[in-house]
Each structure stands twice: as C-alpha cells, then as structure tokens.
Amino acid sequence: MIDVMAIVGPTASGKTALSLELAKRHNGEVINGDSMQVYRGLSIGTAKIEAHEMDGVVHHLLDIKDPEEPFSVAEYQQLVRENISEIKSRGKFPIIVGGSGLYVQAVLFDYRFSEQQADEELRGKLAEELKQRGPLAMHQKLLALDPEADIHPNNTRRVLRAIEINMGGQAKEERTKALSPMYNELIVGLDIPRPVLYERINDRVDAMLQKGLLDEVKGLYDRGIREAQSVQAIGYKEILAYFDGKLALDEAVSKIKQNSRKYAKRQFTYFKNKLPIFWIDALAADEKKLAEIEAMMQENERGRRIELIARQITE
C-alpha cells in the first residue's frame, strides 16, 4: 500500500480543495506542506485553511510556531515523519499538502542534516565568506540551500541571516543528494497554464486585502516583528515596507503580485527538476482529477507488488 501521498503545486493551483476530497475518500489526515503556514498570526497572507473550511478533516502542523521563532527544513522533516507514523498508527492515511518543494522532498527522501554549529561561529564564517566572495556568490549559496528563497542579492544582511537559519544545525550543504525514498510515496502535482495561474494569483492577492491582510500585517508590525524569518514571506515583507514608508500601498500590492508570480515560476521549476511527480491538469473537473489519482494509486500498488515478487524470485 501507499504509505503517504503528497499534493504539490504552485500557489493558487487548487491543492487545498483537492486534498480535502482525497482525505474524505481515503480516511486521510492532512499535513501542512507550506513552510509559512506553521506560524501563528500569519493566516491571510499564507492562504491558510480556516477551521470551518476543513470539513471535518484533521490538519497537522498549522500554527505551531510564534512569528519570532525560526523554523528549519530539518525541524520540519522530523515533525512530519513523526506525524506520518502517528497518523498511520491510527489506521489513517497521511496526505502532505503544500508548495514548499524542498520541505516535502526532505520528508519523503533520505535527506540528512549535520549537527548544529555554534551560531556565533557560523555567523563569523559567513561574514568572512561574504568579504571574500561577494554578494552574488552568497545569494547563490542561499539558493542552493533553499531554492524558494525570495531575497534580493544586494540585501546581504537578510541573505546571510537566511543562510544561517538554513545552515545553523538545520539545513547544511552536506545534505545527501540521493533521492532514496523513505516511504512508498505518491506525489501528485497540479499543473496549470501560466496565464490562468497568474490571473488566479492576482485575484487571490486582491481577496487577501479584502479579508484584512493589512490589519494582519499591522498586528505583527505593532509587535515589533520586522526581521524574523516569518515576515520575509511574500505578502508580509511588502506590506511591512508600506508601513515603514518605503513603498506606497499600490506599489506594495503590485510587488506582492509580481513576487507571487515569480515564486510560482520557481515552484514549477523546482517540482519538475527535483521530484518524481505525477502531473495532472489542475483545471480538469474534480471527478476527473480524483479518478486519475485513484488510477495512479492502483498502478503504484501494482508496481510495488511486481517489485516484491521479482525480489523474492531472485532470492
């Protein structure tokens, strides 16, 4: 049997609605696969599912961190693997849902992380490396650690901080590159034409503003949360710049839409280059999408049985 399923795809591609239907059909529970939805108080800007929208489906790893706290790939890996074991022990089916490709990959495959270095030692090494190699090289180092990072190369302070968060006992460059599966997994990706996706993104940003994104970010701003990892997320950093007087509101909104579109493009690139995904049409009717996934699940099970029989014969 399939141990775990992942539903991935770019922002605004329809992952949440599909995951709910799958969970109801397969006695499943959803595990958050978005690196920013772990934060309390970051709900509108991360498009976090609301309690009344869950339709009775249990969700895990939402609102587990305060906005001031760091969160790493390594911590996510540990928490999700614990969730998977616990969910399966109750006879339920775990479904990871989100757009953070590196996080999903680290859970489902044999990614390993080295032990923690002292923060001050690491910070000093990174500062020295910046002097020797320059901002562009350090930005490339960050993207190697986290392809989804969205920080300008010239913002060296934030680039170094992001590298530190990912390397400081969390996600170091010694991560194994082999895609050795940890589970009998099925990864389903939602493919969608770029023009349609970009229109959805623009509409979603407008909807977020109507729901109260400004008030949500203002609450974080008034708490003095400026440099934390959480508020570097798209939708938060731009509004913070507006509150700081660095951007007009219309400029901030335009940047949110632009950065969201760029992020979606990077998500597609990562998914298609890094993960063994079964792609389905995000615009297809719900029943068609579900039927395709059911067929994939059956084929996956058939393939595993053939593999097991072949191994038994050779033994």
Does 13 appear as a known binding residue?
Answer: yes
Does 153 appear as a known binding residue?
Answer: no
Q: Who contacts 66 (Cβ-Cβ below 8 Å, separation ≥6)?
A: 39, 40, 41
Does 15 appear as a known binding residue?
Answer: yes
Write out the two tokens for 2.
């399939």
Q: Of 173, 140, 133, 175, whose CA–CA distance to 159 is shortest?
A: 140
Residue 176 three-state SS? coil
Does 14 appear as a known binding residue?
Answer: yes
Is residue 113 a contact partner of residue 172, using CB atoms and an 8 Å limit? yes
- β-partners of residue 11 are none
- β-partners of residue 279 are 189
Using the CB atoms, write b or e for 248-282: b if 16+ within 10 Å.
eeeebbebbbbbbbebbebbbebbeeebebeebeb
Does 11 appear as a known binding residue?
Answer: yes
Radius of gyration (C-alpha) of the chain in whole angstroms: 20
- Specify the DSSP class assigned to residue 276: -
Does 114 appear as a known binding residue?
Answer: no
Does 10 appear as a known binding residue?
Answer: yes
Residue 136 three-state SS? helix
Q: Who contacts 100 (Cβ-Cβ below 8 Å, separation ≥6)?
A: 33, 34, 35, 148
Does 46 appear as a known binding residue?
Answer: no
Binding residues: 9-16
Which residues are known binding-site members for ATP? 9-16
> Residues forming the annotated binding site for substrate?
11-16
